[in-house]
Amino acid sequence: MTDGAPDIAVLDYGSGNLRSVERALVAAGANVEVTADRASAVQASGLVVPGVGAFAACMSGLHNMRAAEIVDRRLAGGRPVLGICVGMQVLFDSGDEHGVVTEGFGQWPGVVERLEAPVLPHMGWNDVHAPESSDMFRDISHERFYFVHSFAVRNWVMPEGDRIAPPKVTWSEHGQPFVAAVENGPLWATQFHPEKSGTAGVALLGNWLATL
């Protein structure tokens, strides 16, 4: 354990590159606990929600530990949460996989859908296009990040008349544009895998840790 380093909980609900995420966070300067304990997930300085595979399968595991309540409690207190890959996708309204629609956490409006691309899955390194005001990509420019997915949010539409500061949305493209990352107050998420993205991914995680 490193004195003065933030304490991060990586949520273990049966899905995700848990040890890879743990190693990358340690490299970024965090004390990390991979845990299925609800109290630890609520109380940690930061919570990471990983995820790989099918949207519905991840939601099943998350439902079993009432993870939506954990995320809601943290966000209500302004306590940071970072979603990765399917851990990002579940934050949206729903996922549509081959005509099977599964409800998500509903933190953001949008549907996770199959990309329209000549080759799927979208696997490998790709560029991202972040807003200039991004905190997630501060001092990270002209870098590529590692993706492994076939589904994504292809359209971002916030409700009209919403007076809350709009989220900062980063885009990428594979066959068509899709949401690659979102910064929304204490709630951040990436469609790519920072834990597999080398020094750029560790730098991004360091930017997240700096917000804690």
The answer to whether residues 179 and 8 touch, using CB atoms and an 8 Å cutoff, is no
Choose, from 22, 58, 183, 195, the residue flagged as catalytic. Answer: 195
85 burial (CB, 10 Å; 0-12 / 13-18 / 19+) is buried
**Residue 58 falls in the annotated catalytic set:** no
Vertex 144: Cα angle to 141 and 149 (nearest 5): 140
Pick from 156, 68, 76, 167: which is nearest to 110 by CA? Answer: 156
Catalytic-role residue among 122, 149, 174, 193: 193
Options 85, 122, 174, 183, the catalytic residue = 85
The token pair that represents 131 in the structure block: 């807003």
Q: Is 193 among the residues known to form the active site?
A: yes
Q: Report the catalytic residues.
A: 85, 193, 195
